[in-house]
Chains A and B, each alone.
Chain A
């Protein structure tokens, strides 16, 4: 179903973007960091629906065309990436400075240090926040219906305008989102448990 497709595609790319932006803001030089901060500022500042409308309705005026589906994916990636990058940035900064010193003392380069030592610890700490954002994404994916994507809410509205049974139709729609969100919620709990390092949380 389209909602699930939207989520399954937007989430991994959004997380990748979040990690890139978070790392850029902590480790990047002035210009890189400025660009990353601006991106985050814009897409956290604009309402998601406005972002979607700009991509789908406004960009064609400058010759850039995306289908409803891909406009939605792009919009969601930018919004969730921006929000999640704040969790990533905060958790990178919370990794003890000593971890960095030890990595450097062993002769690791900065990229090696970031990939093998900092991010594994930072991302574990950011997981609760990131999983929260992803659950929100599942819910605000309903906005995609306003740019013509036939996802759950969009289908529900169409149905309702034909059948006029709002209680059954919208309750069902709500329950479908809730079901997806619950599956993810449980999934994240299991993931957190599996990634848990003895004592790492206690250290925080």
Chain B
């Protein structure tokens, strides 16, 4: 597997919801091992973009390729493609009726047809990777937000995806719990797990992202290395956005 192999390619994605053009021609590529972050104001289409990419929602126009194979319209194979994409939701979406361990192992058993013992061992290993091996037998309602999100990450990792999608993974968390989730994500980024992250966490983007893509009005307005987009953007909208965020951060640190 050559370095620089394109894992995800997106071309001219468009999506309209109730008369609103949420995605207005989005195109980009992600190579193996790259971490790309998408930033932008609410309503700019960020979540819709992620959900179009693993076909939880269907784009109106445009094409998507995963590891060189087009996945946009393949109804039969859409589940196979989804197995290769790890998706972490803002609202965690853990299976409420299952323990943390079962949450991670269930897809291994039913989708990948693993034997119960194998699945259980792999699940425990992944939970260990996110520092939750001791809480394997707890139910989601017994876990804090940060723990839930880490279980969600373990659940996605267990399927051995070729790329991870994170949809504002820390936006629903209390501030003191954000750190533990970002630490796990940073660790995975350092292990070069190809990732596409939608987030407002600029600090995270600055430290691990290879590229930031700024979305506005359904398009990518600017893309480039973090420092370029955050500090040296030529777009007024982008400048305003990061100036505002920096103000908020500075206020918190003061």
Contacts and interface: CB of A to CB of B under 8 A. Distances in A.
Nearest to B81: A107
A108 B108 CA distance: 10
A107 B54 CA distance: 10
B82 A121 contact: no
Given A102-B93, A102-B94, A197-B96, A107 B56 contact: no
Nearest to B158: A106
B214 interface: no
B213 interface: no
Interface string A71-103: 000000000000000000000000010110111
Summarize A's interface: helix, strand, loop or mixed: helix
Nearest to A104: B56
A106 B142 CA distance: 23
Given A107-B107, A108-B111, A199-B142, A124 B97 contact: yes
A184 B254 CA distance: 64
A104 B79 CA distance: 7
Contact of A98 (B89, B139, B141): B89
Nearest to B79: A107
20 contacts: A98-B92, A99-B93, A99-B95, A101-B89, A101-B93, A102-B87, A104-B56, A105-B156, A106-B156, A106-B159, A107-B80, A108-B107, A109-B79, A121-B96, A121-B97, A197-B139, A199-B140, A199-B141, A200-B139, A200-B141
Interface of A: 96, 98-99, 101-109, 112, 116-117, 120-121, 124, 197-200, 202-203
